[in-house]
Structure 1
């Protein structure tokens, strides 16, 4: 009930923001057009935004035959989380990263990058997947996906007003000034909404993900490695669709500082500190041997030692990223 209320309030806020941009560009008529468009986007986002996000991030599906160990690990973690096994996708990019999407646990997907599978140890990959499963169990994915759709649309609407001038003074009392305000303020407002949605949810997903996999320090280690590599590697699909950056476990955009005002993610050092505190409260060995995976009080997850996933028809992203197969 709380998640439904939170999602409803977010939709109302995004719709109001969208209508406000429409008013600044086209006055009352622009606001009404924006309202109609927003209503259509709400329906579309609920049913199809997950598919759109996966397509825009060039995520390719993998099945149990092409990646049996990876699928077996995801199935076991999903059982630990008490949710159906989500669809599994791989993003062809050297940047280690991952995200989850879908309107509910019954219609969810987890996408991991080829760089993540190549860079991290099996228990660290499991911890990252557990983090994404936590988003699915908390029903964050619908909110995050809808926010991405609206944020991108708000930015495009503002750019539309810049190119087409926002109509005459009769339709828009603010005239060109209104268009300028929309162009400057709308993208910032959209990012602030993303920031508010994402930061708290990331902390919650870190905590629940650590409990699902049973190894807080495996997730802490994964975040350390992801942060080190992600800041040095360009994720082309994410750069082309920056409104979806908040969906990833770590900000995929290059040149971003995690502490700045418009960061959609919490500071990675703060996330690791929280995981260290959690590890101190759990009666497990917080520093298991490298490469091992020994969760406590959860079902044993297979130690998938072979992450190789066959190519799925093109790189779909960075031309240099073809995974461990070449």
Structure 2
């Protein structure tokens, strides 16, 4: 396995393995329930594999399309490419494709199923607010965060983890529609009970996988922050960028934010910020609270200062 100079994160690795193990148990129950309901195992396998391949290899195109983004050359964006080149040299990793999304929302994301097939994208709103021509430190910190996701293969792991959960959500939805529409006039009580069982199992699988993936997503954001801070040696630059971007996000029209919602989990900062404090909504969040991220960066800054 190719290595980079991004520090290995045992906490992230352990959480990924634990989450994948728990998801595996949940998905075994789901598949067993589908087989018990009379669905052929080979059909389940075909649908799962097809859905996974579509997500795995189509994530880049879907992300670019949803954000109205396009890949840019070094001639088109020399400052942006210069920062990516420098970070990739520091991290000793292949350079990903670089894209710019025409959106006033200040944000960035990474996608791609491997380090050699990765892409990092920034919005025009981010470039305008961070002003890399004047001081590239904040943009460098943001891109280091995204490259940390690439180095730790976060996109591939999240795609694998979410495939059956999304499929379970679809099954639950369609089974529910069939129960209310297709099942009318059908007096087969056994079939109705079986259909309700499928709905219940699918809903439980979706809910459990949803929560597990959200826990993993929040931790991978903290891990990417750590990786960026350690690679650049400037945690304060990332803290400044996060504060600036989060503050600006509240000024973006809701309609523009909703257009970006499908890839919300991949952003540096969530399009829809959660309220401060511990709440039930935080269980469903894809990102940790800004305060938690800033506290972690402050600790890293203090550790770097003591080690100087």
* TM-score when normalising by structure 2: 0.76
- For residue 206 of structure 1, what is the aligned residue in structure 2? 225
CA 1:219/1:255 → structure 2, altered by over 3 Å: closer, same or farther? closer
RMSD: 3.6
1:166-223 C-alpha deviation (Å, 9 max, x unpaired): 866555644346436645x455334313212212111111011112222100100111
Q: Given the alignment of the two structures, is residue 175 of structure 1 paired with residue 175 of structure 2, yes or no?
A: no
- For residue 64 of structure 1, what is the aligned residue in structure 2? 74
- Are 1:145 and 1:247, in contact at CA under 8 Å, matched by a contact in 2? no
Stretch deviating more after TM superposition (214-223 or 24-33): 24-33
- For residue 170 of structure 2, what is the aligned residue in structure 1? 156
Tell me, in whole angstroms, the C-alpha distance in 2 between the residues paired with 1:175 and 1:239. 34
- For residue 251 of structure 1, what is the aligned residue in structure 2? 270
Tell me, in whole angstroms, the C-alpha distance in 2 between the residues paired with 1:9 and 1:51. 27
- Are 2:30 and 2:201, in contact at CA under 8 Å, matched by a contact in 1? no
- Are 2:67 and 2:102, in contact at CA under 8 Å, matched by a contact in 1? no
- For residue 318 of structure 1, what is the aligned residue in structure 2? none
Tell me, in whole angstroms, the C-alpha distance in 2 between the residues paired with 1:191 and 1:237. 25
Q: How does 1:120-139 map to 2 (within 5 A)?
A: 120-122=130-132, 123-139=137-153
Tell me, in whole angstroms, the C-alpha distance in 2 between the residues paired with 1:106 and 1:8. 26
- Are 2:67 and 2:103, in contact at CA under 8 Å, matched by a contact in 1? no
- Are 2:239 and 2:294, in contact at CA under 8 Å, matched by a contact in 1? yes
Higher relative contact order (CA 8 A, sep 6+): 1
Gaps of 5+ in 1: 285-295, 297-326
1:31-63 C-alpha deviation (Å, 9 max, x unpaired): 764443112233444433333333334332111
CA 1:194/1:52 → structure 2, altered by over 3 Å: closer, same or farther? same
Aligned residues: 283
Counterpart selection for 1:119 from 129, 140, 143: 129
* TM-score when normalising by structure 1: 0.72
- Are 1:22 and 1:34, in contact at CA under 8 Å, matched by a contact in 2? no
1:232-258 C-alpha deviation (Å, 9 max, x unpaired): 425757635745322212222x36336
- For residue 37 of structure 1, what is the aligned residue in structure 2? 47
- Are 1:238 and 1:245, in contact at CA under 8 Å, matched by a contact in 2? no
Q: How does 1:70-85 map to 2 (within 5 A)?
A: 70-85=80-95
Alpha-carbon shift at residue 88 of structure 1 (Å): 1.0
Structure ranking higher in helix proportion? 2
Tell me, in whole angstroms, the C-alpha distance in 2 between the residues paired with 1:137 and 1:174. 45
Q: Given the alignment of the two structures, is residue 279 of structure 1 paired with residue 298 of structure 2, yes or no?
A: no
Tell me, in whole angstroms, the C-alpha distance in 1 between the residues paired with 2:161 and 2:68. 19
CA 1:11/1:161 → structure 2, altered by over 3 Å: closer, same or farther? farther
Tell me, in whole angstroms, the C-alpha distance in 1 between the residues paired with 2:41 and 2:62. 26
